[in-house]
Amino acid sequence: MQKKVTIYDLSKILNVSPATVSRGLNDHPSISAKTKKRIALAAKKHGYITNKFAVNLTKQKSNTIGVIVPRLNSYFMSTVLAGMEQVINKVGYNLIISQSLESEEKEKINAKTLLNSGVDALLVSLSYETSNYDHFIDYTSRNIPLLFFDRVLNLPECYTVLIDNKAAGYEATEHLIHQGCTNILHISGHLKRNVYSERFEGYKNALQANNISFQEANFLETDLNPKKIDRVMKHIKNSTNKIDGIFVSSDNFAASCIKELTKEGYRIPEDIKVIGFNNDFVSEIVSPNLSTIDYPGFKMGMLAGESIIAHLNGNINLESINAITLRHKLIKRESTSK
Amino acid sequence: MQKKVTIYDLSKILNVSPATVSRGLNDHPSISAKTKKRIALAAKKHGYITNKFAVNLTKQKSNTIGVIVPRLNSYFMSTVLAGMEQVINKVGYNLIISQSLESEEKEKINAKTLLNSGVDALLVSLSYETSNYDHFIDYTSRNIPLLFFDRVLNLPECYTVLIDNKAAGYEATEHLIHQGCTNILHISGHLKRNVYSERFEGYKNALQANNISFQEANFLETDLNPKKIDRVMKHIKNSTNKIDGIFVSSDNFAASCIKELTKEGYRIPEDIKVIGFNNDFVSEIVSPNLSTIDYPGFKMGMLAGESIIAHLNGNINLESINAITLRHKLIKRESTSK
DNA sequence: AAGTTTAATGCAATCGGTTGCGTAATTAAT
DNA sequence: ATTAATTACGCAACCGATTGCATTAAACTT
């Protein structure tokens, strides 16, 4: 193994000071062109690579951004991350990614770990469980920028990137109503999270606007895990009024519903119409095709990444901005046709 | 904003030397219990957090592991990453994740960036394109452990985690044969990558073992992008001998095939039987259910993570091990039933 | 009581760049 | 030719923790 080459080694080789080598490598204006060339050549020749540890220490900056997501293995989240990674890498930053696995405890630990490892900023999408937010105080009190995306939190110092879930929930529900549904079941995630509570709001508003009274029995709070579909099926079968429409807050779960309902003899969309959320890949695969809300995950990731970078570079100041809302889109497919 | 507290601040407050504070915080045996307690208390009281930049510099180690994957937004990859993240976080390491987007150029850049940022090890799944491997020399020559998973490379110093793709390809193909198929199309990814070339080998071996001669026309090298399904459909329609079985190297693509074939009037599995690869979520959603090869992504991630950690801790030496092969499993579903 | 262990802590160098300030060398101005 | 202005570079402190090697203080031997 070759031992690592430092600017001190280069400075000896070139007979200049380490300061000159450092400035030369960083293209500092006060170094002459020839000297820069000599330095660059020597650096290449001896395989010099800058020791980021030392740079980080002096600059007190790691060029690294932390991310906490509920889970990595979801189509939506991995798409968001792909967007982030793309813009962030382009400007020389790195992404440290960790998952909370929907646990508040793990989210806290991750936040602390990332704080410790010196991330320059933190991007978070909250876990299902989280209801105490003290672990973010460490960041705000240290002026480390904090940005929430998708599953957000309305802290005064923080900035959020999301879609208008209330409007989207409204549109999805109204679409079902327009297609003739009158007794619509809403299968939601945990209401603690904005994304679900707001879609629920939208759902209720759409009902009201169309003179349909909301029934408690038509609301199901779940963890949207396709493996726990049984409870939903039981609920549907046992409902007193025949359910003729379902608005599910996740495509995966909606696809499972379609699959299971079909198996039980229900015809989709004739007996029950179904609409999902996310425009996941499965929505085009399931039969019948799933109507859904297009959710711009990749753009959300890019935007979150761009915003945080711009803030770090001092180009924009997130403190004056509250939230960025992305455009969503209703996608009508077979599962809700008349 | 509170200014950051250092061990020097604490040492002044407590009237001890910085060395004592450092040792106290690290539970060094030569510090008395009372002093340790005083130090711990003061640290908590003043919100001290260790400056990882300084630690990294002295220790020349970042407790960070780099990962390069082709894409983040794939069900399989995000599952692998979830496995890695889980084991790696548990032992106090962080994961820096980057994606090559199937481009050799980007893979090279990522490798360099990660090297620069001082990762302690690198985990790689190769891009489609990559055919030159010089960017990994920087790692091997510096004795930075390098581990390939899934899409691997057989370098002497490197360690790989994968499944037996040849056997899996054999089983998938033979299953189709057992179900009565005699003219089986294989839709593959780029043969440059082991995962695809070996499945192809397995496919050919299974044909041969069953006295079916391999037809060039029954092999399609693609990039497995569902958006480019047209070419495949054309191929199937134009094939001289009626194709009665398809072995696709990806569930997503297989699901798209089923969808499209059904649309064109083919009956699955009566006219054509289809088997995929990966046991992705969509395989259970598509109608008919897709037979496939179960591919232990989460375990693969865990194993890769555990191996690299064990190596870094000196518990095992990867240099003596060549490859770890995980168990796969044939999953028979409706798409290949008789 | 003098010498020897043992326990507890401090000194100071080190990791590898960065950067404000000073200085020598070169060029421009008068 | 002398002074002023640039240009090019070096000095040395600094970022914050770690650690080998003293050193001091306390405990133990004989």
CB within 8 Å: A4 and B114: no
**How far is Cα A48 from Cα A38, in angstroms, rounded to an integer?**
13
**How far is Cα B332 from Cα B338, in angstroms, rounded to an integer?**
11
CB within 8 Å: A71 and B49: no
With tokens 């041969």, the residue in question is: B208
Residue pLDDT, tens place only, B244-273: 999 999 999 999 999 999 999 999 999 999
Closest partner CB to A1 (pick from B51, B143, B262): B143
Nearest CA in chain B to A2: B142
Extended strands (E) in A70-193: 94-99, 121-124, 146-149, 159-163, 184-188
* B window 41-100, beta carbon within 8 A of A: 49-54, 56-57, 60, 62-64, 71-75, 77-79, 81-82, 85-86, 89, 92, 94-99
Domain ranges (residues) in chain B: 7-50, 63-163+297-326, 165-295+330-336
Strand partners, A124: A68, A148
**How far is Cα B280 from Cα A222, in angstroms, rounded to an integer?**
23
The answer to whether the A62-163+297-327 and A165-295+330-336 domains have the same CATH topology is yes
Nearest to B185 by CA among B115, B135, B237, B119: B237
Task: List CB contacts (< 8 A) between B65 and chain A.
Answer: none
CA–CA min distance B238, chain A (Å): 25
**Residue B12 contacts strand D, CB under 7 A:** no
What pLDDT is stored for residue B52 in this prediction?
A: 95
What pLDDT is stored for residue B258 in this prediction?
A: 97
CA A49 vs CA A23, A44, A62, B136: distances in Å: 15, 9, 16, 15
- CB of A115 less than 8 A from some CB of B: yes
**How far is Cα A60 from Cα A58, in angstroms, rounded to an integer?**
6
What pLDDT is stored for residue B224 in this prediction?
A: 93
Compute the average pLDDT of residues B146-153: 95
Q: DSSP state, B269?
A: T
CB within 8 Å: A114 and B94: yes
Residue pair A125/A68 in contact by the 8 Å Cβ criterion: yes
CA A257, distance to chain mean position in Å, is 25
Nearest CA in chain B to A89: B98
The CATH class given to the A165-295+330-336 domain equals alpha beta
- CB of B229 less than 8 A from some CB of A: no
The CATH homologous superfamily to which domain B63-163+297-326 belongs is: Response regulator (3.40.50.2300)
**How far is Cα A25 from Cα A18, in angstroms, rounded to an integer?**
11
With tokens 């496939």, the residue in question is: B292
Going residue by residue through chain A (338 aa), what tens digit of pLDDT does each one get?
Answer: 456 899 999 999 999 999 999 999 999 998 999 999 999 999 999 999 999 999 999 999 999 999 999 998 888 999 999 999 999 999 989 999 999 999 999 999 999 999 999 999 999 999 999 999 999 999 998 889 999 999 998 787 788 999 999 999 999 999 999 999 999 999 999 999 999 999 999 999 999 999 999 999 999 999 999 999 999 999 999 988 899 999 999 999 999 999 999 999 999 999 999 999 999 999 999 999 999 999 999 999 999 999 999 999 888 776 677 789 999 999 999 999 98
CA–CA min distance A274, chain B (Å): 15
CA A148, distance to chain mean position in Å, is 8
**Residue A32 contacts strand C, CB under 7 A:** no
The CATH class given to the A62-163+297-327 domain equals alpha beta
Nucleotides of C under 7 A from a protein CB: 7-12, 14-20
**How far is Cα B143 from Cα B130, in angstroms, rounded to an integer?**
22
Q: How far is the CA of A13 from the C1' of C22 (A)?
A: 25
**How far is Cα B184 from Cα B202, in angstroms, rounded to an integer?**
13
Is B5's pLDDT higher than 50? yes
CB within 8 Å: A285 and B282: yes
What pLDDT is stored for residue A176 in this prediction?
A: 98
CA–CA min distance B205, chain A (Å): 32
**How far is Cα B67 from Cα B69, in angstroms, rounded to an integer?**
6
**Residue A17 contacts strand D, CB under 7 A:** yes
Cis amide linkage into residue B70, ω under 30° from 0 = no
**Residue B238 contacts strand C, CB under 7 A:** no
Strands B292-294 and B329-331: antiparallel
Task: List CB contacts (< 8 A) between B118 and chain A.
Answer: 51-53
Nearest to A97 by CA among B107, B145, B115, B86: B86
